[in-house]
Every structure is written in C-alpha cells, then in structure tokens.
Amino acid sequence: MNEQQESKVGKKLSEFTTRKVVILVLVMLFTSPVFTTSNYLEAPNTYNYGLDLLRDLDPRTEVGKELFNNIITM
C-alpha cells in the first residue's frame, strides 16, 4: 500500500484545528445554561396567579370597586 506521511505543516494545522474545535465545544457546553430562560424568568404558578388576581380585584381598589359595582347592577 502506498501511504503518504503527513507533513509537519499539515500535522500542526490538524492539531490546531482539533484543539480549537474541542475548546469551542467545551465553551458551548458550559455556557449554554447561561442562555436558558429558566435562569431569568420564574415559571407561572396558578396559585400565585389566583392570589394576585384576588389582590387586584379587591373591592377596596379602584378596579375592584368598578367590577363589584358592575356585578351588583347587572
């Protein structure tokens, strides 16, 4: 079989490219959790949503008074 040996330049270029690809993959692996939305946003919770709605529609607030009066006058 006729095997050609890799030149010094080709070997260095191959090592350099492999090293860069490995570093890039590792950087992407470790930095990808930073870009997920779960780090910055809290998932909606129906219990908290209900409590917030009750707080906002309390008859002592302006919106609550208007809603209460609309329901009573129906």
In tens, the pLDDT along 39-52 reads: 777 777 888 888 88
Q: Say yes or no to pLDDT of 16 above 90.
A: yes
Query: Is 1 a residue whose pLDDT tops 60?
Result: no
Can you list the alpha helix ranges (DSSP code H) found in 1-74? 8-31, 46-56, 62-72
pLDDT at 42: 75
Instruction: Reply yes or no on whether the pLDDT at 23 is more than 90.
Output: yes
DSSP 8-class letter at 19: H
If you average pLDDT over residues 17-33, what whole number do you get? Answer: 94
> Which whole-number Å values give the CA distances from 33 to 20, 28, 29, 55, in the listed order?
21, 9, 8, 35
* Residue 61 one-letter amino acid: T
Higher pLDDT, 73 or 9: 9
**What does the pLDDT read at residue 25?**
97
